[in-house]
Structure 1
């Protein structure tokens, strides 16, 4: 299995866990768990592959990705009640999934021979769109859109870190590790330490 495929598999599993946790918060049945988990797991990679005109889409070519996501959904369906704070676990699992998915998007787009702008964009899309779909479908405020949260910023910084690292090494693994580290570090700082960007604040109009 190639490195991009391994990263896709890892992000599918962890994002599927987050989808199932959101489904548990919404009190869905097992079918709902399966749907939300699979949507979350493959959403970002699907958008990436469609934009890059990769045919077939990664999970259509290898259906075991969907089986992995479904397994994660069943696991959480029978174990979520053991968690003291499902939201806390959700946020941290989402941070892990984001860091791996951004690296997967970077690896896939680099392997397809795209330039820095597309590589960065595909890293962000792969990392962010699955969670966005999950939260919208389950009527939760999307983590990606919460005011000031370092989410898209973390994904963008991770994708850029990978490209900077590629300028200094020919080893494909090290830049992807740098991508995951930077993405996770910024997201973790936002969760644990309250790192945020300034949100827009309305101002009264100036009268002449």
Structure 2
């Protein structure tokens, strides 16, 4: 049986979109970047820790657990989820008029092995004025999302150009995830 170590409605939606059958396993993994850790290593470590934590609580033989993490990166700084409206506004002002990266890694963990894949996307935001930022924050959408925006909702209006994976920016790179699941016999072609 496949499990998803995430409470993210976006990750559930993306897996359902491609017809994957799975159950949710609730995990609580601290998301703090260690000193000297690259953004890519950080995202990979957190996704792996989520999958491992999920497998650790399951007693089911043959369980496979997916863990994922997605972060927005600008100038080697990781933009996690905003704490409040002020934090969201600061993030959006910093991303405004710039190109940033979105790193999205997925790990598949079983009792017999661990495998991962990563999607790296480049996102261009136009210059955002204060009224646009304030109106977007008022939608409530920035909360619970890395970088304080969601590409799948109102935040799509804030994206000038995407070079990479739309689903990866949403929170789970579906092409890479499907490839992992297929290669381990967890989904068909």
Q: Please indicate, yes or no, whether the TM-score normalized by the shorter chain is above 0.5.
A: no
TM-score normalised by L of structure 2: 0.32
TM-score normalised by L of structure 1: 0.30
Q: Which has the larger radius of gyration?
A: 1
Report which of the two has the higher share of strand: 2
